[in-house]
Every structure is written in C-alpha cells, then in structure tokens.
Structure 1
C-alpha cells in the first residue's frame, strides 16, 4: 500500500491549525474547513500558555511571534480576598529551561498567528464550511460538504471542538459533562503592579484571578457555581462579573473599573470530557477538545490540544501504514498524560466545591506539572 497523502482537517482552532501546519511541512496535502466564517479570529479575551504548549508552538515555527505578542513570567501568586499576598510559587518550566514557564497573551492574537502560519503552508482553507456526511471504506473517506461539493481523503482529522459533530457522526457517544463551576472572563488594561498570574481562592467566588497578556493588557477571570446560561441576559454580563470582582482587593479595583462592556465578557461552564478506548473510528481521528477537555484550573487545555497535533503528526509521518494500529498507538501514547491533566483539573474544582480547606493544592500542582516536563 502506498503512503496516504491527502488529509481533511475539520476545525480551525489550536489543534486543527497546528496539525495542518505540521502535515503540510511534511509534504502532505491538507484541506482545512472551519465552520465560522471569521475563523475565530476575534473570539476570546486571553489565554495562559505553559511551557509544554510553548514547546509545540516553537515546533510550529511561530514561537518568536508568540513571544513578541505575549507576556512571559515565571511565578504564581496567591492572595487573600483583600489583596494581601500570601505566597509566591515559582512555576515549573514544563517546556524546558530554554522557554518561559508561562506566557499570557490575547487569544485572538494567538489565533491570528496560527492562521497566518496555516496560510503560509499553502493548505486549502474553506471558511463557513462544514462536513455534512462521511462515508468510509478500507481506503479512505468520502465527504460531502455543506456547500454541496464533495471530496475524497485518505484520512479525516476531527478538530471541531468540545461539541464535535464529527465525533457524534462516527458513533462515539461520549459527551462533555459539567463539573459545577463556571467562569467569567474579560480583558482589561494591565496595571503596572501585575507582572504574573495571581489567584485568590475564596471570597464571593471560588476563584478570582488575572493573567498579563501583553505590555498593556491582561485578562481577568472569576469562577463561581454554574448557573443556567439561559437565565443570564448577555446585556448584563459586565454587571454580573463586576458585581463579583469588585469585592476583591489588591489590583482588582483598578481592573474592575474597566469591566463595563458586556460584549467583552465571556461566560462559560467548566466541563470535563475524555473519550476512552480509542480516538478513532476507521480513518477518522479525533484531536484536541473533540477527544478531551478539562476545566482551565491548570491552564492546560490548549497545551493538550497542541500536543495531540504534534504526536499524531509524528506518527503519520513515521513511514508506518495509516491503519488501526497506528491510530491506536496515538491514543495509547496520549491518554495517560491527558487523563492526568483532566483528573487533576477536576480535582482542584472538586476541592473548591466541597470546601476542603486542607487540600494539598501545591502538591497536586507540583506533581502534575513535573510530569508534563517529559516529552509527550
């Protein structure tokens, strides 16, 4: 059998963009489709990227742009609700000593950097397009698209996110489950005093924190018990977030006064999700949030998705046949690491929900981040 050379990537988020870049670099023909006409280029406030995510971004060839666009730092502060600094913990450099431990940046900036990198590869990109049907046989997948066109591919990579339609279409019934928390996020100007992430556990919310995303920007977040999303008028998003945030001290008063535009505030439930057994059916393979997700308590969601892209590309370009054995090897290699992150992220949430005051939070963080220093 000749080595397959045509791939359809469904979804243009972090994992979909990353695997498109890597496969094109290897000389494989890639079509990328993305449901949103704007390619998610304006969505989101900020993102926290730890070293293992930065390691993959360097592999993609975009580290210099990311470094120039973001704000790198190496520690985490924990404060009391009134702003009193309780302690500072040095972050573990999970990407190696030659990369920062952590970098915050505006999410739209990261997406634009990845978009530009995808465009530069010469991949075929179709926006506002979805896969309507997938029909498989032993040699490939025939796809009918939402615009009525059709295509034939040796492999389909489903990178279409948490509520992946592709996952359901290939018969995987797993769905994300809420963990009982939700997060408010908003961008704001960065006070000079904010030079790292600071977190407060307790007060009017479970967690309140902020992360610098550039020389003049940060994103702030407040975590509370999840509410019925349909019961919250989006026009009140800024008021709702500000009501919680203004009860915190330290840098919060300066931050809170800028939380005024509801269009800039995002409200999202925390979900957990891990497909067990395998991440493929035939020649359709899941990556990123389509296969797994976790609460952002470890800031590892994007990192796990980027690592999926790196590992799957390594296997696809190894000279092996693209068959069940290879796709199962991808799952077997990824799932222990991903499970560690999902379970640790959920555990941090559960301790908060259960009001466990003597939980070994530093120990859990240290063990998890130390494990992530190993190559995926």
Structure 2
C-alpha cells in the first residue's frame, strides 16, 4: 500500500505498542489511545519465548528487552520435592535467544519508547467515545476530545475489549476457566538460570521464572471459585497453604513470601472470537480476539505476532480490506491452536477430564509446541 495510512490503535499494552511501532516504522501515521494515565504496566513479569523475541528484533527493541530482562536456553523440570527430573533445551527462532524473562513495567517502558521514537502519538487517559464507519474510513472521537478520520482502527484492547463489544455485542464474553494464577516477585535464587517448573501428583504446579539479574517470580496455578479473592491480610498465608506440598527451590522461594501485599492474584479467563476478527475497517487482535491461558507462555507472543503480521499485510495488500482478510487467514489457525493447546495443558496438569480433541493436542505437548512455534508465523 503506497499512501501512508492513518491508523488508530485502541489499547497501549504489549500488542498495541508493538503494532504502533511496526506501523509507524513503515511510514504510517499512528495514534495510540490508552485508558491508563501512562505506559506503566501492572503485574509481575512475563516470559518472551523465542518467537516473541524474533518480533522484538524486527521492531528494533531486542537488545533493550534482553538488557532489562534475563535470557535463558533451557527449562528445568523438578518433582514436588525439588529433585531435577529433566533439563530441556528450548528451541530458537532465528537469531533470538530461546526465551527471556522481563518485568512487565520494564517491557512497557521499552515498547512505549520505541513507539514514540518511531513517530506514533501516544494518547494516555483516553478511549473511544464515538465511532462511525463508512466504506472509506472511520470517524473517531476520543474521550479527550480528539477527533480524526482513520483508515483503520485496531483493537488491542484486551480480554474485555470494548471494540469487540461494538463489533459482536455480548456474543464473546470472557470465560473463566475455573483456575487462577498466584504470583509474587522475589530476589532471584542463586543459580536460577531459566524457568524451573515443579510438578507431580499434587494437581498443581509451581514455577520460578527469572526476570532480571536481580529478580524472579514465583508463580502457581490452582482451581479457585469464580468469586474467590485472596484475603488482603493473609494472602501470603493462603499461598503458603496451597504450596505446602512442595519442597526444594519452590519451598525456599516460598519462605521469602511474608507480605500479603506482594501477592498478585489473577483469574485465568479466555476468549475465542469464532466470528470475524475484522468487520470493515475495524480489526480485533491479541487478547481481544483470542485470549488464552498462560500454559504455553504464548499469550503476549501471539499478540506481538499479530501486530507485526498486520503491519506486513498492510504493506503487501492493495487496500485495507484485502490486507485484513489476508492477515486474519494467516493468524487465526496459529493463535487458536495455541489457545486450544494451552487450555488442554491446564486441564491435564490439574487432573480435569479432557476431550478427544484435547487428547490429540496433548500428544504434541509443551516441548513439541515450542518447536512448532519457532517456525515462521
């Protein structure tokens, strides 16, 4: 597409800022509308598998991510007592490392700086107030009063996507899986040189993930009632109760968890938009279209792949509708495969009955999935 497009990216998270950077680097005029007051991100840390790092390389921020995080090449698997069962080398995509752990706030800063440096306008504290589309463009008024006609509106606005509701109503609401993630940031254990996963017959798993030279996070997944919330005064004790059966490195890390305010609790939900991911000149991407459980550590990776492939499709196609059709045909099978396998792994690890389709997916397994996902996207 020769003329530069005017694009609104709705959502300034990992996927949205990656899209803004890729599009602006390709010469398009990009505005990012983000409801938060700044680029600061909540949460603990995030794993960037090699395919996500390949995207970071493509948009020019790989070195910054590696400098802010902790790269590794192998996954260590332990039994609940802490005895090492296996050390599994992880595959690489291109020249990127096998994986990188990084604090979410650090990644948000890297991506915000990259988007701004590429020429994208970051508009914080605002969201879409009015939107009207015709065959040639989309008129958008933001809640800060900004009004512009765009060639394309991209919804990287998360699992609760307002743009998804505009396109599909209540047809695709987030579905709670019945499980929740408990995480807490701690000083990195000496010698922890990659993800350490402890699992067994406890219907639970726990992980230690390095996210910088100084820090790691302890994470665990448990079945929780939909209305459960940790007690603000004893969240650390509730985590201790859930991980009481683990020894070794997990127990050593858990002993450091003494502050209830340090425990981050998040329910695990998913969304799969079975209908079109784009209607006219409005497109859904990342968690707005295909939010998955974290069991392959691929949620954010799928979002940044969406972002880069969208920028590539817009440059290769003769017009916006053709680009969006080509983009969705390329992205839908891969993203929904990740979602389905992630959910199957969650059910397998927690002793939940699986379907025949899930059993077939589980034959690939997590190690096999890593090799699939370093293939070109």
What are structure 2's unaligned runs of at least 5 residues? none
Q: 2:284 aligns with which of 286, 290, 293?
A: 286
- The range that moved more, 149-158 or 262-271, is 262-271
5+ long unaligned stretches in structure 1: none
Structure 1 contact 351–359 (Cα < 8 Å) conserved: no
Q: Over residues 140-160 of structure 1, what are the superposed CA-to-partner deviations in whole Å (9 max), with x where a residue is unaligned?
A: 111122223422111111111
Structure 2 CA distance for partners of 1:360 and 1:20, relative to 1, 3 Å: closer
What residue is the counterpart of 1:373 in the other structure? 374
Structure 1 residue corresponding to 2:182, chosen from 181, 184, 187: 184
- Within 5 Å, give how 1:227-238 maps onto structure 2: 227-229=225-227, 231-238=229-236
Q: Cα distance, 1:284 vs. partner?
A: 0.7
The CA deviation string for residues 37-87 of structure 1, in whole angstroms up to 9 with x for no partner, is 132x14111111110000000111011111112111111121111111122
Q: Structure 1 residue 252: deviation in Å? A: 2.2
Q: Distance in 1 between matches of 2:308 and 2:156?
A: 13
Check whether the contact 1:77–1:88 (CA below 8 A) recurs between aligned residues.
Answer: yes
The number of residue pairs the alignment matches comes to 372
Question: How many Å apart are 1:235 and its aligned residue?
Answer: 3.8
Residue 359 of structure 1, CA deviation: 10
Mean CA deviation greater in 282-291 or 245-254: 245-254
CA distance in 2, matches of 1:329, 1:349: 31
DSSP 3-state at the match of 1:105? strand
Write out per-residue CA displacement over residues 91-115 of structure 1, whole angstroms, 9 at most, x where no aligned residue: 122xx25221111111111111111
Q: CA deviation at 1:32?
A: 0.7
Q: 1:200 to 1:116 in 2, by over 3 A?
A: same
**Aligned counterparts, 1:49-60, within 5 A:** 49-60=48-59
Q: Work out the CA distance in 1 between the residues paired with 2:299 and 2:95.
A: 22
Provide, for residues 268-314 of structure 1, a one-character-per-residue CA deviation record: whole Å limited to 9, x for no partner: 12222221242111111111111111111100011100000011000
TM-score, scaled to structure 2: 0.92
CA gap 1:345/1:88 in 2 versus in 1, 3 angstroms: same
Q: Is the 8 A contact 2:50 2:98 kept in 1?
A: yes
In structure 2, what is the equivalent of residue 5 of structure 1? 5
**Aligned equivalents of 2:360, 2:214: Cα separation in 1:** 35
- SS of equivalent residue, structure 1 residue 267: strand
Given candidates 208, 211, 214, the residue that maps to 1:210 is: 208
What TM-score comes out, normalization by structure 1 length?
Answer: 0.92
State the alpha-carbon separation in 2 of the partners of residues 133 and 201 from structure 1.
Answer: 49
CA RMSD of aligned residues (A): 2.3
Shift of residue 187 of structure 1?
0.6
- Shift of residue 250 of structure 1? 1.2
Q: Aligned runs of 1:24-173 on 2, under 5 Å?
A: 24-39=24-39, 41-93=40-92, 96-171=93-168, 173=171
Provide the rounded CA distance (Å) in 2 between the counterparts of 1:34 and 1:59.
Answer: 24
What does residue 308 of structure 1 align with?
306
Would the aligned equivalents of 2:344 and 2:362 in 1 still touch at CA under 8 Å?
A: no
The separation in 2 between residues aligned to 1:361 and 1:134, in whole angstroms, is 43
Q: Where do residues 235-246 of structure 1 align in structure 2 (5 Å cutoff)? A: 235-246=233-244
CA contact (8 A) 1:205 1:244 kept: no
Give per-residue Cα distances to partners, 1:172-201, cap 9 Å, x unaligned: 521221222111011100111321211122
